[in-house]
Amino acid sequence: MPSFTVFKGSKDGSIVQSETKKGELKGDQVLLKVTASGLCGTDMHYRNADMVLGHEGVGIVEETGPDTKVLKKGDRVGWGYEHDSCGHCEQCLRGNETYCPERAMYGMADLDQGSFAKGAVWREAFLFKIPDNLPDEAAAPLQCGGATVFNALHTYKTDPIETVGVIGVGGLGHLAIQFAAKMGCRVIVLSGSDSKKDEAIRLGAHEFFAMKGAKEIKVSHQLNRLLVTTSSLPEWDLIMPILAPGATIHPLSVDDGNFSIPNMPLILNGITIQGSVVASRHVHRRMLEFAALHNIQPVVEKFPMTKEGIEEGMAKLEKGGMRFRGVFVV
Ligand SMILES: NC(=O)c1ccc[n+]([C@@H]2O[C@H](COP(=O)([O-])OP(=O)(O)OC[C@H]3O[C@@H](n4cnc5c(N)ncnc54)[C@H](OP(=O)(O)O)[C@@H]3O)[C@@H](O)[C@H]2O)c1
Ligand SMILES: [Zn+2]
Ligand SMILES: [Zn+2]
């Protein structure tokens, strides 16, 4: 019977070390030894919940269940936000299993395990082989952050002649800059201050605008697409004038409450607002292949996979000091 160390959130926000026990492996379940986990902005929302945190995992297959078909002991795999879906509803059949009514997702199911852990048991069907040229600590942040921004760009058919805006240079944002630049787009970054300018340009941005105190945003080209990767939604009054007619906004931020946006610029310019959550598995696979081919890797800060290491990483992210994705390593 597998059992492994896990790290949970708690009411007062401190990290609690615990032990999870699983039954014998059934069906296509796989036992993993976790080697690395990214720290996503979404983990901050669950810090006060009594559940195992983390959903950007990488690990090594230790044991396979009776119905596994692809993976074998020693394989290096990743997993993200979604762990299971029904497999037979319309969304699953269309390859949109992230919208399956029976989906099992982080924060809603399987609360006894996550990627802030030393081990995990997941279905083979929801694990992704990691390309050889991506080290564990680089592959981990791609499992949610990378998948989310690549999905917004790829699934909604970004064209290389577009100008793509990215607002918020954090874990998601610094990957969005790299993916959009490698897709051939002009990339314009909007950030709180000037402090991330050099790094954003190095990652592929063509232009950078610091928002602090600005009454108006000045950019060389209107945006055909805007990926919103800030930890809370931006001031739309400032943003609307720099959107090209027909532009698409991808509000990726997890932000409670209602989404509100100026109505007239939306109507008069035919703006689309496109919600999305992470990526379906076929898009996730493409993302890993694309990242491996173009050497897209997150910029990471490593911390030990311990209660203290996780608390230190989360404190740094909360203070806005992370450059650009925290990764816990075992
Ligand atoms: N839709 C999905 O499927 C999905 C998946 C993953 C994550 N998310 C959500 O996406 C968001 C970004 O995640 P992340 O992991 O990239 O977080 P992150 O690393 O914390 O980055 C967020 C960035 O937002 C900016 N920011 C910081 N504090 C802010 C504030 N008070 N108001 C506005 N902007 C602020 C900063 O960028 P600058 O310094 O450049 O201003 C920061 O680097 C989170 O809300 C997360 O929950 C959604
Ligand atoms: Zn995430
Ligand atoms: Zn389904």
Which residue positions in the chain have pLDDT lower than 70?
none
Cβ(291)–Cβ(142) under 8 Å?
Answer: yes
Q: Provide the pLDDT for residue 167.
A: 98
pLDDT single digits (tens) 22-51: 999 999 999 999 999 999 999 999 999 999
Together in a domain, 170 and 249? yes
Together in a domain, 183 and 300? no
How many domains does the chain divide into? 2
The residues near 308 (Cβ < 8 Å, ≥ 6 apart) are none
Atom of ligand 1 nearest to the CA of 39: 15
Of 230, 252, 317, the residue with max ligand 1 atoms within 8 A of its CB, to mutate for a pocket test, comes to 230
Tokens of residue 29, six digits = 């379940």
Together in a domain, 290 and 267? no
289: domain CATH number is 3.90.180.10
Rounded to two decimals, the pTM is 0.98
Q: Which residue in 250, 251, 248, 246 sits closest to 270, CA to CA?
A: 246
Of 103, 179, 208, 231, the residue with max ligand 1 atoms within 8 A of its CB, to mutate for a pocket test, comes to 231
Ligand nearest to the CA of 45: 1
Together in a domain, 233 and 298? no
Together in a domain, 139 and 10? yes
Please compute Rg for the chain using Cα positions: 20
Q: What is the percentage of the chain residues whose pLDDT exceeds 90?
A: 99
What does residue 180 show for φ and ψ, rounded to 5 degrees?
-65, -40
CA 165 to chain centre: 18
Q: Provide the pLDDT for residue 257.
A: 87
How much distance in Å is there from the Cα of 138 to the middle of ligand 2? 15
Q: Provide the pLDDT for residue 59.
A: 98
Indicate whether 60 belongs to any domain: yes
Q: Provide the pLDDT for residue 1.
A: 86
What is the C-alpha to C-alpha distance for residues 277 and 149, in angstroms, rounded to an integer?
9
Ligand 1 atom 36: the closest Cα is on which residue? 168
Structural domain containing residue 205: 157-273
Of 44, 47, 106, 172, the residue with max ligand 1 atoms within 8 A of its CB, to mutate for a pocket test, comes to 172
Indicate whether 56 belongs to any domain: yes
Together in a domain, 195 and 221? yes
How much distance in Å is there from the Cα of 146 to the middle of ligand 2? 9
233: domain CATH number is 3.40.50.720
What is the C-alpha to C-alpha distance for residues 281 and 79, in angstroms, rounded to an integer?
10
Boundary (domain end) residue, out of 246, 273, 300: 273
